[in-house]
């Protein structure tokens, strides 16, 4: 097993979250003129181009894999999560979109239980219920409109799919490099998202092309950083650092779009953060006990 480096893993997680938040701010700025389908396609296409120098340097042999099925699954699930996330960035206050993205730790234990038979501890079960209390507080703020509710549920669906994608990445991390995982994701995402993007295509200005190129750059940085982070330390120890993006999102949402959080939403944020950290702590303890019994189904790298 590779030596753990929690400090480096945490730094990479924070870098990933800041890069992803930057994409969210760009998407929020252009979502009124450019459709989500077009943004997703161009993000994946540009991301694929960004990875070509890596492929040339490492050689085509770096793409050889015996887990193509997992790559396809991760690609489809990750693409669906991306569509939901990008939609929520464009149709919700920045802090709420960022926060609901962070509900994925509530779904990870559920997927791990059904897919790889990982037991769910009492603390995790409690954290799931606590987390959904926080979600309810966010879903029903004063003055909520129907369209806003739809965006919230889409954001939650994206969080659920993101949780599943993280379980798949963890399953692959024992044999697949971060570069290979990200490359196949970009390739599959580009191919699958091409048709809906062409249907909703609109002409773009040079400024919009630049914004979309920036989305691709920052999204690729986020993907590479998070894939690399989980090779340095277990998800349970790194997970709490993902919540740093909520504070940054609240600040930039207020600074750039005059978005203010009411007391109900703020309470929901605190509850979800508490639930997420509680769930990840319980999963870390369960994993340690399993390793002591030599019941290891997926090695950390």
Tokens of 265: 């939403």
pLDDT tens for the 301 residues of the chain, in order: 455 667 787 788 888 889 988 999 999 999 889 999 999 999 889 888 888 888 888 888 778 888 888 899 999 999 999 999 899 888 888 877 887 887 776 777 777 777 666 666 677 677 777 777 777 776 665 444 444 468 888 988 998 898 888 888 877 877 888 788 888 998 999 999 999 999 989 999 999 999 999 998 898 788 778 778 877 766 656 666 777 777 778 778 888 888 776 777 777 777 777 776 676 665 554 444 443 333 333 333 3
Who contacts 163 (Cβ-Cβ below 8 Å, separation ≥6)?
104, 105, 106, 107, 108, 110, 111
Q: Are the C-beta atoms of residues 262 and 35 closer than 8 Å to each other?
A: no
| Residue ranges covered by each domain of the chain | 6-292
For residues 103, 22, 78 and 167, what is the CA-based torsion angle, rounded to 10 degrees? -50
What sign has the CA pseudo-torsion 180, 54, 244, 96? negative
DSSP category for residue 195: H
pTM, full prediction:
0.74
């Amino acid at each position: 097993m590779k030596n753990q480096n929690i400090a480096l893993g945490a730094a990479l997680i924070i870098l990933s979250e800041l890069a992803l938040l930057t994409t969210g701010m760009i998407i929020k700025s252009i979502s009124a003129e450019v459709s989500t389908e077009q943004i997703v396609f161009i993000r994946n296409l540009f991301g694929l181009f960004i990875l070509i120098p890596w492929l040339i340097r490492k050689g085509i042999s770096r793409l050889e894999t015996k887990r193509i099925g997992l790559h396809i699954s991760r690609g489809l699930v990750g693409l669906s999560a991306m569509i939901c996330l990008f939609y929520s960035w464009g149709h919700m206050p920045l802090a709420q979109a960022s926060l609901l993205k962070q509900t994925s730790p509530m779904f990870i234990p559920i997927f791990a239980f059904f897919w790889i038979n990982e037991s769910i501890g009492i603390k995790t079960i409690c954290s799931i219920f606590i987390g959904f209390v926080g979600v309810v507080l966010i879903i029903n703020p004063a003055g909520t409109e129907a369209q806003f509710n739809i965006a919230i549920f889409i954001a939650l669906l994206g969080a659920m799919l993101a949780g599943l994608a993280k379980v798949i990445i963890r399953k692959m991390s024992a044999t697949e490099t971060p570069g290979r995982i990200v490359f196949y994701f970009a390739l599959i995402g580009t191919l699958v998202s091409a048709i809906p993007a062409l249907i909703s295509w609109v002409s773009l200005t040079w400024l919009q092309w630049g914004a979309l190129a920036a989305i691709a750059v920052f999204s690729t940085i986020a993907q590479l950083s998070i894939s690399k982070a989980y090779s340095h330390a277990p998800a349970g120890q790194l997970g709490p650092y993902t919540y740093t993006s909520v504070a940054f999102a609240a600040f930039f949402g207020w600074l750039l779009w005059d978005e203010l959080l009411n007391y109900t939403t703020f309470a929901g944020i605190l509850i979800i953060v508490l639930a997420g950290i509680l769930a990840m702590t319980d999963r870390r303890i369960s994993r340690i006990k399993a390793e002591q019994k030599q019941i290891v189904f997926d090695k950390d790298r």
